[in-house]
Amino acid sequence: MSFLVLTALLVGLVLVVAAAWQRRLDLHQQQAAIAERAERAELAERGPAPLPLQTPRIDLTRCLGCGTCVRECPASGVLALVHGQAAVVDAAACVGHGRCVTECPVEAVTLTAAAGAGDDVPVCDDDQQAIGVDGLFLVGEVTARGLIRVAAAHGAAVARSLARRCGARPAAADELDVLIVGAGPGGLACSLGCVEAGLRHELIDQEHELGGTVARYPRHKLVLTDDVELPLHGRLPRREYGKEELISLWRELAARHRLPFCGGVTFDRVERCADGGFVVHTDRGARRARHVVLAIGRRGTPRRLGVPGEQLPHVAYALLDAASHRGEHVVVVGGGDSAVEAALALAEQPGNTVTLVHRRPAFTRLRRKNRERLDAALAAGRLATSTGTVVATIEPGELVLQASQQAAAPLGGSGGHDGGGTAVLLRQRADRVFVMIGGEAPVDRLRHSGVSFDASLRPVAEPARDLGGFVLAALSLLLALATTGFVLWHRHYYTLGAAARAADPQHAWLRPDRALGLGFGIAAAAAVLVNLAYLVRRQQWWGVRRGALANWMQVHVIAGVVAVLAAMLHAAMAPRATAGGYAFWTLVVLLGTGAVGRWFYAWLPRATNGRELALANVRTAWQAAQGGAGDPGFVARARREALALAERRQWQSTWGGRVLVMVGMRFDLWRTLRRLRHEARQAGVAAAELHTALAEVRQLHTLAVAVGHLEDLRAVLSAWRWLHRWVAALMGLLLVAHVVLALLHGSMFGGGR
C-alpha cells in the first residue's frame, strides 16, 4: 500500500508540474501574440502599409478556441490563440488562402475585404462574370485572389459554366466558343475544362511559354502549399510543389491534352459586338469569340521608379536565378515579400554585398517567416538595409538615395543636397539594381473592355444565418422524441423487472442480444465510429481533407446523440454493471462534456477578450495623449509605473499568487498610489493633474487584474476539453471490451441472455 501511495504521489506531482509548465508556455505565447498585435498596430500608425484585399475576421460569439485555424494558416503569424479564442495578430501577412475558413468547425472565421482595399479590383458576380458584361469572365489574380488553388478552382468553375452556356447557344462558324487570355493557373484550368466539355477555344498569352506569373518566379521557389484539382487530371498528388515541378506538370498536361495555346500574343482590349459576341484586339490582330475569359493577372507590367537612369542595362525588375550573381554589389529596391526574398537569396551567394532599400521607416508588409529571416540576416551582417529612403537617380555603377516622404526624420549619410534642395543621404555602389516594387494593375485595359471597378455594384453577401445550433438542437430533439415515443409504445416491457422480462413475448426481439435490440447496439457502435471520424478529418490523418470541417462538426454532434439514444435502447433502458453498461455511462458523460464545450463555456473567453480590448484601448489612449500642464515627466512616469504594474498582474502572477492578489491587491495599489503622491508633492504637480494620473493608474490596474482572473478561470474551466478527450478514450476501450466479451460468450450468435 505504501508503494502504491508513493507511486500515486509521484505521478500526481509529475502531472502538476507538467500542467504548470504548459500553463506558463500558454501565457507566454498569449503575451507574445498581444505584443505582436500592438507592434503591428503601432507600425501601421507610423506608416500605413497596404493591407491585403482580404483579411480574416473572427466571430468571438462562435469561436471555440480549438486552434484549428491557427494550425492550418500557411502564413505564420496571422492568427494566434489569445485567452482561449482565435485572434488576428498580423492582418497584413494574410495571403487570403482561406484554409482558416474551411477548417473552422463552427464557421467562426470569414474572409472579408480589408478597409480601403479594392479601388482597383474589378467587380464580378458569383460566377466570376464581369458585372454588366454578359459573357466576359475574370479568373485568377486579376480578381485580387492570387492563390494558385483559388485561380485553378475559378478557372474550372468558369469552364463548367461556359459548357452550359455554349450548349444553349453555340458560337457561329467564324468565331470561337471561348477565348482565354492568360496561360497561368486560372487560364490553364479553364482551358482543360473547355477541352473536357468539347468547346472550341484558344488560349493566348503574352509570354511564349505556359505558366503566367509563376513562370517568372525565382528558381526553386515553393509556389504551392495546398490541394489543387484540375479538369482532366483530378487532384494533384502532393500539396507542395516547387516552381519548376509545377511548370513541368502544366506543360505535360498541355501537351497530353493538346491545348490550343498561342504564345507571344499581347492582349489590348475586348470589344462587344452587336450580336452579343466579342472581338479581342491583340498585337497579332483581332479574334472573335462568343465568350472571353481574362486571366491576365494583376501585375501587368512592372511598376517603374520614374527616376533618371532606370533604363540602364544593369537595372532589372525580376530575379530568376540568384546563383548567377556572385561577387557583385547589389541593391534591391522594395519592401514587400518578393523584394526581401530576392535580397536574402542574393545575400547567400558568395562575394555579394546586398543592400535593401525601402521607402518606409520599417518593413510592415512582410510575412512573419520573411521578417524573421530578414532580422536574422541583419543580425548576422549578411545584408544591409536603407529604410526611409528612395532612389533619386541611377548611374552606371551606383545610385543616389534621398529621404522619402514616409521617413519620420532625416537619416544620416554622406553628401550635400541634390538639385531640388532635398538632402542626399548617400551614394550607394550598385553593380546590379533589382527594382521589385510590384506591378501596374491592368486597370485601363480592363476599363476599355467594359469591366467596372465601382464597388457599389459589387454583390453584397447576405449575412450568414446562424442556423447551425438551431438545426442541431432541433434534430437532437426529434431523435429524443422518437426514442421517447418508442419507449412509451413498449412501456409494458421496459417497466418490468429483469426476471419478469424473460417471460414477456417482446423479450425475444427487444433483448440486447437479439433482433431489434442487437440492431440498436450495432447502430450505437456505428454512430460512435462516425463520431470519431470527425477527429480523423480534423487532424487530417491519412490525408483525409474532404469536406468542410463545419459539416463534419455537425455530423459529430448528431452522431453523439444517436449513439447515446441507440445504446440506451440496446441496453433495454436498464444498463447493467458490465463493460457495456460502463461504456453507456461514459458515452453519456462524453455527450455532456461535448455540449458544455460547444455552447456553455463560450461566454468566458469572450468576456476575457473584451477586457483585453478595453485594456488595449487605455494603452492606445495613453500613447495618443498629449502631456498636460504641471510636470509632464511625472505623468509619463506614473503611466509607466501603471503599465509595469498591469503587466505584472496580468501575465506574471501564478494562480496562487493571483489568489493572494485578490486579498492584497488593495494594499498593492495603495502602496503604488502613495509613492506617486509623494513624488508629485516633491515635483510640485498640480492637484488636478495628480488626480487624473492616479485615476488612470487605478483604471489600468483594475482592468489588468480582471483580465488575469478571467484568464485563470478560463484555464481551469478549459479542463473540460481534456476531460472530453480522456472520457472518449475510456469509452472506446469499454466499447471494445464489451464487443469482445459478447463475441467470446457467443451471446450474439445463438445462446445466452
Written as nine digits, the cell of 480 is 429524443
Question: In the predicted model, what is the mean pLDDT of residues 421-450?
Answer: 81
CATH number, position 330: 3.50.50.60
User: How would residue 44 be classed by pLDDT, with cut points 50, 70 and 90?
Assistant: low
Selection from 631, 649, 486 nearest residue 570 by Cα? 486
Question: In the predicted model, what is the mean pLDDT of residues 54-79?
Answer: 80
Distance of CA 140 to the CA centre of its chain: 19
Residue ending a domain, among 95, 110, 125, is 110
Q: Dump pLDDT digits (tens) for 238-258.
A: 877 888 888 899 999 999 999
Written as nine digits, the cell of 550 is 463545419
Residues 528 and 582 grouped into a single domain: yes
Q: What is the DSSP secondary-structure string of 135-156?
A: TEEE-GGGGT---HHHHHHHHH
| 458 is a domain residue | no
Q: Give me the number of domains the chain comprises.
A: 5
Q: pTM of the prediction?
A: 0.66
CATH number, position 41: 3.30.70.20
Looking at residue 408, its pLDDT comes to 43
Residues 99 and 201 grouped into a single domain: no
User: How would residue 636 be classed by pLDDT, with cut points 50, 70 and 90?
Assistant: confident
Q: Give the CA distances from residue 577 to residues 517, 521, 581, 583, 743, in Å, rounded to whole numbers and listed in that order.
A: 18, 17, 6, 10, 18
Q: Dump pLDDT digits (tens) for 355-377.
A: 999 988 888 777 777 888 899 99
In the DSSP assignment, the letter for residue 306 is: -
Q: Dump pLDDT digits (tens) for 405-428.
A: 655 443 333 344 444 444 556 888
- ∠ CA(103), CA(106), CA(111), 5° rounding? 60
Distance CA 102, CA 495 (A): 48
Q: Residue 613: pLDDT above 80?
A: no
Residues 646 and 537 grouped into a single domain: no
Looking at residue 409, its pLDDT comes to 40
What is the dihedral sign for C-alpha 728, 730, 736, 738? negative
Residues 40 and 168 grouped into a single domain: no
Task: For 335, list phi and psi in degrees, rounded to 5.
Answer: -130, 10
Q: Dump pLDDT digits (tens) for 568-585.
A: 999 989 888 888 899 999
Residue ending a domain, among 389, 423, 440, is 440
Q: Residue 624: pLDDT above 80?
A: no
Looking at residue 422, its pLDDT comes to 47
| 449 is a domain residue | no
| 658 is a domain residue | yes
Q: Dump pLDDT digits (tens) for 261-294.
A: 999 898 999 999 888 889 999 999 999 999 999 9
Selection from 409, 359, 414, 364 nearest residue 388 by Cα? 359
Residues 162 and 290 grouped into a single domain: yes
What is the dihedral sign for C-alpha 332, 222, 321, 143? negative
Residues 736 and 594 grouped into a single domain: yes
Looking at residue 530, its pLDDT comes to 92
Distance CA 405, CA 298 (A): 26
- Which range of 241-255, 452-466, 622-636, 699-713 scores highest in mean pLDDT? It is 241-255
| 231 is a domain residue | yes
Residues 342 and 362 grouped into a single domain: yes
Residues 192 and 267 grouped into a single domain: yes
Q: Among the listed ranges 312-316, 460-464, 515-519, which one has the minimum average pLDDT value?
A: 460-464
Strand ranges (E), 255-388: 261-263, 267-272, 278-282, 285-294, 301-302, 315-316, 329-333, 353-358, 384-387
Residues 474 and 585 grouped into a single domain: yes
Question: In the predicted model, what is the mean pLDDT of residues 118-128?
Answer: 81
Looking at residue 137, its pLDDT comes to 96
Q: Residue 113: pLDDT above 70?
A: no
Better-predicted residue by pLDDT, 714 or 345: 345
Question: In the predicted model, what is the mean pLDDT of residues 678-706?
Answer: 77
| 151 is a domain residue | yes
User: How would residue 50 be classed by pLDDT, with cut points 50, 70 and 90?
Assistant: low
Looking at residue 150, its pLDDT comes to 84
Residues 507 and 431 grouped into a single domain: no
Residues 291 and 314 grouped into a single domain: no
Written as nine digits, the cell of 293 is 475569359
| 452 is a domain residue | no
For residue 644, the one-letter residue type is: A
Match 458569383 to its residue by C-alpha cell.
126
Written as nine digits, the cell of 635 is 505623468
Residues 591 and 667 grouped into a single domain: no
Q: Dump pLDDT digits (tens) for 131-168.
A: 989 999 999 888 877 678 888 999 999 999 999 988 76
Match 483530378 to its residue by C-alpha cell.
234
Q: Residue 83: pLDDT above 90?
A: no
Looking at residue 563, its pLDDT comes to 93
Instruction: Show the domain range for 52.
Output: 2-110
Residue ending a domain, among 267, 297, 327, is 297
Distance CA 528, CA 620 (A): 50
Kindly provide the b/e burial profile for residues 661-695, where b requires at least 16 CB atoms within 10 angstroms of the residue's own CB: beeeeeebbeebbeebeebbeeeebeeebbeebbe
User: How would residue 169 be classed by pLDDT, with cut points 50, 70 and 90?
Assistant: low
For residue 589, the one-letter residue type is: V
| 281 is a domain residue | yes
| 736 is a domain residue | yes
